[in-house]
Amino acid sequence: MNGFSPATHLLLVIATPLIGAVVAWVLGGRGLSAVRQSAAMTAVITLMNAGWLVLRYLQSPEAAAGEPYAVSSAPWLVGGIFDVRLSLGLDGLSIWLFGLSALLSLTAVLVSWNAIREKPVGFYVLLLLLEAAMLGVFAARDVILFYVFFEFTLVPLFFLIGIWGHDERRRAAVKFFIYTLAGSVLAFLGLLTIVLWNASHTGTVTFDIASLTAGTAAHPLPMSREGGWLQMIVFLALFAGFAVKVPIVPFHTWLPLAHVEAPTGGSVDLAGVLLKIGIYGFLRFSLPMLPDATAAAAPWLFGLGVVGILYGALVALVQTDLKRLIAYSSVSHMGYIVMGLFALEPVAVEGANLQLINHGLSAAGLFALVGMIYERFHTRSIANLGGIATKAPWLTVLFMLFTFSSIGLPGLNGFVGEFLILAGSFQRAWAGVAPSLRTPYLIMAVSAVAGVVLGAWYMLWAVERVFFGGSREPPRQGATGHDHGHAAHGHNTHGHNTHGHNTHGHNTHGQNTHGHDTHGGSDGRCDLEWYEIAALAPLAVFVLWIGLTPAPFLAPPAAMLRANTRSATTAFAERMQAEEDLAPSPEAAHVVNRDQPASRKPFTLTSELTLDRP
């Protein structure tokens, strides 16, 4: 593969799923086996090429210097004042998300191996198209190209949910599409405003992201009454698109329904990759291009992150549907990432960036395992499950591994990210804000720690009820009778379906239409199949690898993170200093509280976990 230039290598990685989608379509007449084997082979080839490209990047001088790698650019709409290009490339900000997209796409294909029997050609074609869009969105270096890939991720997932989802699949698909499309249109208008503002100073309408970042640094958008608060307006437009994508509470209402109704492969890609695009958008556009507005909004967004942590955890605690519980846990864990990002403290930002990968691994693993449980027992109702550990010990081991990763057990990947986020947040609260904000920031940081406790509570309680104790396997209603987890809504009690929706021994949505239980749950043989182990084993390896040696994963993005957050961090520090200057003099403050020191800056915590004392 070294015979290809890095730019050609990147193009091949993105093109491979597109070629594979065509091949799967052509092989559709040869039956299910040919289609799914073709999709799996395409995903494997894409992952191998993407992995090799990541290794080439890590060994390149660009990685050490924090510069773009594998850059290619071809004219798309160039003429007159316009300069729109098909520009692709990778850097420290995108490299791990690019690799994660390739890894989880293989997982999505393998977990669908026996779950999808109806219209498999369309399913696997859409899954491969979604993979190409996810790879493209992290490689795009032009605003128009980024937006094309950003929007294109919506289309395959819309059909995956709407056709192969569960009972409320159409409502979930429409809600998902409307929310994300509306937000992305506002974000696009905000990006166009940045383009036009830059053009008014340079005379060229360029959509190149690096040029726009440099242009807004040289000619910032106005952040004053005289300038119409343009920078804040554009920030709010971008926030609308990216906050829905994360999602940040209260823009999250589409997510639990989409997760619950999506097929397992769709849930893996949604939780593992698509939610990360919103945070990536903040890091790529909002923080470097709109630093003053970011600094002004940071305390509020820090607080929204904490609200998301607690809200998601408390709602997850009362769920009776296992998949819905995992969905709300995603809301809670994405809250930590939002909190770390808008702490605007380097160590917290690095932790948030690492936690994007950590959450992608653990959430994808948990959603995959919930789908495997559903295939075997045809229910996601926690009340109807129990004693699975005796029937499926390896499934239990992997579920517990991803659970421990999710709750931040030391030695696993989740601990590293959450520790850095919380450490950076406490440092910001203690020494990096104006005195008037110190107490609110400390309260929010302590509340985030409470979220860790709640996360352990709802996850471990779910594990205890589902995997241990006496077996509560629901009675069979025909060989393929399905319960879509209606117990969460009060429709299913005591292990039977009171509505009779699925008593005909068949399913019209393509989840298990093969006419028999291939996992043999009735005779006690229901542990993992080879393709399920192949889907989850790589995720388990990275969970342990990142947890034990996080430095190789923290180092590559560090330079780009510092560069993209420096202006916002500086603007926030200036804003805090201005508020402190407006506060009462130190002498007056000592009259109120003689024990409080005038300045609290005893140390600076870095991601290398060293203490730099002044």
DSSP 148-206: HHHHHTHHHHHHHHHHHS-TTHHHHHHHHHHHHHHHHHHHHHHHHHHHHHHHHHHS-EE
The burial class, CB within 10 Å (0-12 / 13-18 / 19+), for 70 is buried
- Contact partners, residue 250, CB within 8 Å, separation at least 6: none
The yes-or-no verdict on residue 219 having pLDDT over 50 is: yes
Say yes or no to pLDDT of 592 above 60.
Answer: no
Structure confidence at residue 492 (pLDDT): 41
pLDDT at 583: 64
Residue 421 pLDDT > 80, yes or no? Answer: yes
605: confidence class by pLDDT, cuts 50, 70, 90: low
pLDDT band, very low/low/confident/very high, at 331 (cuts 50, 70, 90): very high
pLDDT of residue 524: 53
- Residues 506 and 516: their CA atoms lie apart, in Å, by 10
Q: What is the mean pLDDT of residues 413-434?
A: 94
CA-CA-CA-CA torsion sign (586, 588, 589, 595): positive
pLDDT at 480: 37
Higher pLDDT, 63 or 500: 63
> Which pLDDT score is estimated for 463?
94
pLDDT for residue 167: 86
Distance between CA 249 and CA 332 in Å, rounded? Answer: 9
Pull the structure tokens for residue 185: 């249109």
pLDDT at residue number 336 = 96
pLDDT at 515 over 50: no
* Pairwise CA distance, residues 116 & 109, whole Å: 10
Express as a percent the part of the chain with pLDDT over 90: 72
**Model pLDDT, residue 471:** 67
Which residue pairs, CB below 8 angstroms and at least 24 apart, start in 594-601?
600/430, 600/431, 601/431
3-state secondary structure of 210: helix
pLDDT (average), residues 118-142: 95
**Is 51 buried (19+), middle (13-18) or exposed (0-12) by CB count in 10 A?**
middle
| All residues at 6 or more sequence positions from 587 whose CB lies less than 8 Å from its CB, including other chains | none
What is residue 244's predicted lDDT score, i.e. its pLDDT? 94
103 vs 123: CA distance, rounded Å: 18
Vertex 192 angle, CA 188 and 196, to 5°: 175
Q: Is the pLDDT of residue 450 over 70?
A: yes
The answer on pLDDT for 594 being more than 80 is: no
Mean of the per-residue pLDDT values of the chain: 86
| CB 121 within 8 Å of CB 141 | no
Q: How far apart, in whole angstroms, are the C-alpha atoms of residue 352 and residue 80?
A: 42
Rg of the chain over Cα atoms, rounded to whole angstroms, equals 25
Residue 479 has pLDDT above 70, yes or no: no
pLDDT of the residue at 506: 38
Which is more confident, 162 or 204?
162
- Considering only CA atoms, which of 465, 281, 332 is closest in space to residue 386? 465
State the pLDDT confidence band at 601, using cuts at 50, 70 and 90: very low
Instruction: Using pLDDT thresholds of 50, 70 and 90, give the confidence band for residue 473.
Output: low
pLDDT in tens, 20-37: 999 999 998 888 899 999
Return the pLDDT at 31.
86
Whether residue 116 is predicted with pLDDT greater than 70 in this model: the reply is yes
Q: What is the pTM of this model?
A: 0.86
Residue appearing with tokens 């989802």: 165
Does position 521 have pLDDT exceeding 60, yes or no? no
pLDDT of residue 4: 80
**Is the model's pLDDT at 117 over the cut of 90?**
no
How far apart CA 462 and CA 322 sit, in angstroms, is: 8
Contacts of 382 (CB under 8 A, 6+ apart): 319, 320, 321, 322, 325, 462, 465, 466, 487
Residue 212 confidence (pLDDT): 95
* pLDDT tens figures, 536-586: 999 999 999 999 999 999 999 999 999 999 999 999 999 988 887 776 655
Question: Does the N-terminal peptide bond of residue 288 adopt cis geometry, omega within 30 degrees of 0?
Answer: no
| Range picked from 273-277, 483-487, 596-600 for highest mean pLDDT | 273-277
How high is the pLDDT of residue 585? Answer: 55
Q: Where are the beta strands (DSSP E) in 189-268?
A: 205-206
Query: Would the pLDDT of 103 be above 70?
Result: yes
Token pair recorded at residue 492 = 């299913």
Distances (CA, A) of 390 to 98, 369, 370, 559: 38, 16, 17, 48
Q: Residue 510's pLDDT band (boundaries 50, 70, 90)?
A: very low
Say yes or no to pLDDT of 512 above 50: no
Q: Compute the distance between CA of residue 308 and CA of residue 447 in angstroms, rounded to an integer.
A: 11
Check whether 425 has a pLDDT greater than 70: yes
pLDDT at 503: 37
Identify any residues that bridge with 142 across adjacent strands, giving them in sequence order: 208
Q: How far is it between the farthest Cα atoms of the chain?
A: 84
609 pLDDT higher than 80? no
Q: How far from the centroid of its chain's Cα atoms is residue 358's Cα?
A: 9
Angle between helices 169-202 and 154-164 (to 10 degrees): 180
CA nearest to 578, candidates 291, 296, 293, 349 = 296
